[in-house]
Chains A and B, each alone.
Chain A
Amino acid sequence: MLVQDFLQNSAERFPDKTALVCGGERLTYAQVEAQANQLAHALIAHGVERGDRVAIYLPNSVETVVAIFAILKAAGTFVVFNHTTKRDKLSYILNNCRATALFTSERNASLAREIRAAVPSLKFTVLSGERAVAIEGSCYAFDDLLAAHPTTRPSCPTIDQDLACLIYTSGSTGEPKGVMSGHNNVVFASASIIRYLENTPDDIVINVLPLSFDYGLYQLLMAFRFGGTLVLERSFAYPAAILKKMVAERVTGFPGVPTVFAILLQMDLSPYDLSSLRYITNTAAALPPSHIMALREKFPWATLYSMYGLTECKRTLYLPPDQLDARPGSVGIAIPGTEVWIEDEEGNRLGPGGVGELVIRGSHVMRGYWENPEATAGCYRPGPTPGEQVLYSDDLFRMDEEGYLYFVARKDDIIKSRGEKVSPKEVENVLYGIEGVVEAAVIGVPDPILGQSIKALVVVDGVALAEKEVLRHCRAHLEDFMVPQIVEFRDSLPKTSSGKIKKTDLG
């Protein structure tokens, strides 16, 4: 099975069923399939070859969904960007994966031109939006490409060993790394998750998370696989609008991150009839037990799943819902068809109570980082059988007597804010780009809504610098979720004996 089969099979089984609700649009499986086929023909006609990376720089939209499946149907590998990514990082990633084509919106037309100049591998750009028009020099309008090509399915040489997507993630080095997901990995991981969530074609899932984030992306992939309906939203910026949509569409599945639930719990939910809700899922960061209790009180008819995972293997653990009352602090057990254990630094497996690194084994373990053997070797290591790779999570866990797992801490200094990973190094690199900043350190501080808020400590020399100027610079160079909430000016920062900034003394 291939990832595009999720759409293709559902288009055969349920051609007239609503597959996607997005903005004011409603598309059936047959319509999504037809558009993806048209676009796939266009990609092939314009030179996309098997294994080529094709990037999507759009907010959650119908075009993003169609492009994802079109790229797969054209035997390509898709790369979805967070739509708040800024120019330098876009260029970096596009060059890193040597993308062949880029999808973006017409309002980014001038940015797309600059990027074309900075990324030699790009053969063409596709602009979407009502006013999108083809521009000379291999820049096409999305709708024109659809109109010019047939709705028949193109032949596709892909096998399940080929890469379906690269998902870029922040690492402690500050440089984003592309996690390589083979079709077989995605097919396996999505089946395992669907199994424990007990999804059926009757499920209607709302997704407010970006499709650049694996948790958001898999809502699309899974819904299409089980033949449900996906209600795709841009974000959770307007919670009341989302709640109204959930009521109107009779949503059954609501995936969120702690920030989403923290906002929801502050609201009066009585005006909204959410009785259709069958399940709620949380991952990306732990939900405080008090929020678990509160969510269960607000939605006693819905099943709550606490989960844990990392992009490098998609999902790792889930807590069977019948265990939630007994162990609300646990993120559970290995997802179906996989196994995990806890290892100490000498490689010994630890029993109940011992704290060590979580190691993950199964077909959901991805292939490593795109063209980065060094980083790959750091966490993808040989497993118990020849040729196999297991994943070292960099997260410390402990296990109780019954084998349920508890997150303890991260081994590195990565910050989790709004459920997304923030590399302090990446933010510090941007801070050092401000004239006059001589030292910078970025740390996470506990925050009731964000999980961790991002605090920047800077030492300035020779110029007067205001907090707003620092924030402006950060907003111009970083994705939304990486922009610090707090900026503090210091005369100096504490150092270790080797002269490195000592972050443990900054809290």
Chain B
Amino acid sequence: MSIENQIKTYIVENFLFSDNGYELIEDASFLEEGIVDSTGVLELVMFVEETFDVTVEDEEIVPENFDSVGQLAAYVRRKTA
């Protein structure tokens, strides 16, 4: 499964509440769209660390890395490269 799909699956299972086939767009802002709330970001960090076996530094937890499927996948690629 691609990194994007792994992230999507996690988000859909843990944060999305709609059962009516909400389509998670790759560049949709998690916070702006209300997909992930403020403590949800910390859950997302834990998910990334456990799933992709990387250590997320505090200063990396910024919207540029964590606020959409696309940004998060790019970040994971950089970390695991």
Which residues of B have CB within 8 Å of A347? none
> Is there a chain A Cβ closer than 8 Å to B50's Cβ?
no
CA separation between A475 and B14, bound complex, in Å?
Answer: 10
Q: What is the CB-to-nearest-CB distance from B46 to chain A, in angstroms, rounded to a whole number?
A: 13
The CB with the most chain A CB atoms within 10 A, among B15, B18, B37, is that of B37
> Is there a chain A Cβ closer than 8 Å to B2's Cβ?
no
| CB-nearest residue of chain A to B67 | A238
> Interface residue count for A (Cβ, 8 Å)?
26
Which residues of chain A from 233 to 256 have any CB-CB distance to chain B below 8 Å in the complex? 234-241, 244
> Is there a chain A Cβ closer than 8 Å to B80's Cβ?
no
The CB with the most chain B CB atoms within 10 A, among A59, A238, A449, is that of A238
- Given known contacts A238-B41, A472-B17, A475-B15, is B33 in contact with A267 (CB within 8 Å)? no
Q: Are A418 and B58 in touch, CB under 8 angstroms?
A: no
Contact residue range for chain B? Answer: 20 to 34
- Given known contacts A107-B33, A271-B59, A476-B18, is B38 in contact with A237 (CB within 8 Å)? yes
> Is there a chain B Cβ closer than 8 Å to A488's Cβ?
no
Which residues of B have CB within 8 Å of A123? none
Q: What is the CB-to-nearest-CB distance from B80 to chain A, in angstroms, rounded to a whole number?
A: 21
Which residues of chain A from 379 to 423 have any CB-CB distance to chain B below 8 Å in the complex? 418
Q: What is the CB-to-nearest-CB distance from B22 to chain A, in angstroms, rounded to a whole number?
A: 11
> Is there a chain B Cβ closer than 8 Å to A505's Cβ?
no
- Given known contacts A237-B31, A237-B38, is B17 in contact with A267 (CB within 8 Å)? no
Q: Are B13 and A236 in touch, CB under 8 angstroms?
A: no
Which residues of chain A from 196 to 244 have any CB-CB distance to chain B below 8 Å in the complex? 234-241, 244
Within the complex, which residue of B16, B32, B42, B62 is in contact with A240, where a contact is CB–CB below 8 Å? B62
> Is there a chain A Cβ closer than 8 Å to B54's Cβ?
no
Which residues of A have CB within 8 Å of B13? 468
Q: Are A268 and B58 in touch, CB under 8 angstroms?
A: yes
> Is there a chain B Cβ closer than 8 Å to A473's Cβ?
yes
CA separation between A450 and B38, bound complex, in Å?
Answer: 12
CA separation between A476 and B34, bound complex, in Å?
Answer: 11
Q: Are A238 and B66 in touch, CB under 8 angstroms?
A: yes
CA separation between A207 and B66, bound complex, in Å?
Answer: 21
Within the complex, which residue of A235, A418, A475 is in contact with B17, where a contact is CB–CB below 8 Å? A475
Which residues of A have CB within 8 Å of B37? 84, 235, 237, 480
Q: Are B15 and A240 in touch, CB under 8 angstroms?
A: no
CA separation between A44 and B10, bound complex, in Å?
Answer: 47
Q: Are B38 and A240 in touch, CB under 8 angstroms?
A: no
Q: Are B58 and A235 in touch, CB under 8 angstroms?
A: no
- Given known contacts A84-B34, A234-B31, A237-B31, is B58 in contact with A267 (CB within 8 Å)? yes
Which residues of B have CB within 8 Å of A237? 31, 36-38, 40-41
Q: What is the CB-to-nearest-CB distance from A165 to chain B, in angstroms, rounded to a whole number?
A: 24
Q: What is the CB-to-nearest-CB distance from B14 to chain A, in angstroms, rounded to a whole number?
A: 8
CA separation between A450 and B13, bound complex, in Å?
Answer: 23
Which residues of A have CB within 8 Å of B40? 237, 480
Within the complex, which residue of A59, A83, A240, A480 is in contact with B61, where a contact is CB–CB below 8 Å? A240
CA separation between A107 and B28, bound complex, in Å?
Answer: 12
Q: B21-61: contact bitstring with A at CB < 8 Å (1 yes, 0 no)?
A: 00000000001111011111110000000000000001111
| CB-nearest residue of chain B to A485 | B39
CA separation between A450 and B39, bound complex, in Å?
Answer: 9
Within the complex, which residue of A241, A473, A475 is in contact with B63, where a contact is CB–CB below 8 Å? A241
CA separation between A473 and B33, bound complex, in Å?
Answer: 18
CA separation between A22 and B41, bound complex, in Å?
Answer: 21
CA separation between A239 and B60, bound complex, in Å?
Answer: 10
CA separation between A101 and B37, bound complex, in Å?
Answer: 27
Which residues of A have CB within 8 Å of B14? 468
CA separation between A53 and B24, bound complex, in Å?
Answer: 36
Which residues of B have CB within 8 Å of A473? 17
- Given known contacts A83-B34, A84-B37, A480-B38, is B15 in contact with A238 (CB within 8 Å)? no
Question: B residues touching A (Cβ–Cβ < 8 Å)?
Answer: 13-19, 31-34, 36-42, 58-63, 66
The 4 closest A-B pairs by CB, nearest first: A480-B37, A237-B38, A476-B17, A475-B17
With contacts A238-B63, A240-B60, A241-B61 known, what are 10 further pairs, Cβ within 8 A?
A: A83-B34, A107-B32, A234-B31, A235-B37, A236-B38, A237-B40, A239-B58, A240-B59, A241-B62, A450-B39
